[in-house]
Amino acid sequence: MPFADEPFSLVIFGASGDLTRRKLIPALWSLYAARTLPEPFTIIATARTEMTDEVFRGEMRGAVVEFARLKIPSPPVWERFASHLHYVAGDPNGAALYPRLRQRLDQLERARGGPTNRVFYCATPPSLYDDIVGHLGEAKLARAPDGWTRIVVEKPFGHDLESARALNRQLTSVFDEQQIYRIDHYLGKETVQNILVFRFANGIFEPVWNRNHVAEIQMTVAEAIGVEGRGSYYEEAGALRDMIQNHLLQLLCLIAMEPPVTFDAAPVRDEKNKVLQALRPIDPAKVDEVALRAQYAGGYIGGRAVPGYRQEKGVRPDSTTETYAALRLQVDNWRWAGVPFYLRTGKRLPKRWSEIVIRFHRTPHMIFRRRSDSGLVADVLVIRIQPDEGISLTVAAKEPGPELRLGPVTLDFKYNEVFGGEPPEAYERLLLDVIHGDPTLYARGDWVEGAWELLQPVIDAWSRTPAALPTYEAGSWGPAEADAFIGRDGGAWRQES
């Protein structure tokens, strides 16, 4: 059912940061240029830096030219969009900013007309969330008498279970849960959204989507980059918090969840929560059996020498922060009992590459008793998330020739070849969803706390044992220990060629 367009106002905290420049304003422009952004609208950006509306609009034009999916067709089109951009300077920690924000909102909304629908977007470090939320409540900006109000917060949603609970308490002390949108940009990717369509709109997969046919599932988010000058941030995060607690656990829930009653926010999020509840708790005494960490050393990426993690700016020379993490999880329910789910992520791996691999059992009896089929691999379904978005299925087939020789054949679907063009950026979809009030692709508070609760034993164990980590050469696929980690079940990591 299509959403009705209503006027709205968007207030962006952290307007001078990279997120606003690289993602938010370019996404809003692309929605506007594609005629999908509801109108009329008002965008107010705020940060400590002093500048006028005109200066801010000029800076955002440069950001759109550099980063937006859709380019500016002509100056008049840009001017029409830019006329909706406004700037209010102020310290988000200080109470003085918020009455001025309210005054500016009231002024612009009166001139625009229509209900006072508002979105507050925290594009700031998480350390500022408490002050922003508290001041919004004190300034009576958390509710609108004749419209709706929503708040968007970026990950990380805390750095452990205790801090996640504290953040949720602060958010829900001012806003209702239904007003809170915890954004994970991974869920806005076209391929991730298509997981549910692939599973539940195609009847042929449901009969084999279970322990009777699936041998194991591997999920990988690989990055070729290092910490890119953010060493001090990464020292507080690490691979487990940065990728597994959010992105990879979200993917696991989408793959393992039961069919929701309808594709609406509440049923979808309920089913994802059931997967979290079914994940086998990690025994604090056996963390080493289900979790692996490592740190990149110097090496070569794309033929270029790169430093090791401990040589990066902002990183302690004796750091034990993991840049590679792998988990082995079990979903203890009727559908998935006994099927291992492997999650891994790492920096300074050979390439940027994210995918989900569903490896099926081999046929119970191979009738082709020829040596030519020895070593034939089981069927494999691969969902590629980035960069070459698509889905492939590898099956056995007869090779051409007079002899009966079997070999693997890959049936491949690529999004860009089938649909053409560049898919919308994740932030385009997610911004449109919050404006329309659709939280399906956003994380709910209980899910966030459940994810931290699952991983807390690993966090605690790794913080108690700050011994030297295994290392892996930059440009490799991770530590040698990773092969033994997954090999316990007779498997192997799938490596991209």
Catalytic (active-site) positions: 247
d(CA 210, CA 219): 17
CB neighbourhood size of 426 (10 A): 21
Q: Which helix (H) or strand (E) is 265 found in, with range?
A: helix 265-278
Given a contact cutoff of 8 angstroms between Cβ atoms, the answer to whether 30 and 69 are in contact is yes
| Pairing between β-strand 291-297 and β-strand 324-330 as defined by DSSP bridges | antiparallel
Torsion angle defined by CA atoms of residues 137, 138, 141 and 146, in that order, rounded to the nearest 10 degrees: 100
- The answer for residues whose C-beta is within 8 angstroms of residue 305's C-beta and 6 or more apart is 298, 299
Contact between residue 444 and residue 270 where contact means Cβ atoms under 8 Å apart: no
Pairing between strand 299-301 and 304-306? Answer: antiparallel
Side-chain-side CA neighbours of residue 394 (13 Å) = 17
d(C-alpha 90, C-alpha 148), whole Å:
25
> What does the alpha-carbon distance between residue 300 and residue 484 come to, in Å, rounded to a whole number?
24
CB 383 within 8 A of CB 395: no
Spell 66-89 as b/e; 16+ CB within 10 A means b: ebbbbeeeeeeebeebbebbbbbb
Which tokens belong to 83?
């006329």
- The CA distance from 250 to 246, in Å, is 6
Query: How many whole angstroms separate alpha carbon 381 and alpha carbon 360?
Result: 8
Which H or E run contains 296? strand 291-297
**Distance set, CA 99 to CA 51, 132, 137, 181 (Å):** 19, 13, 11, 24
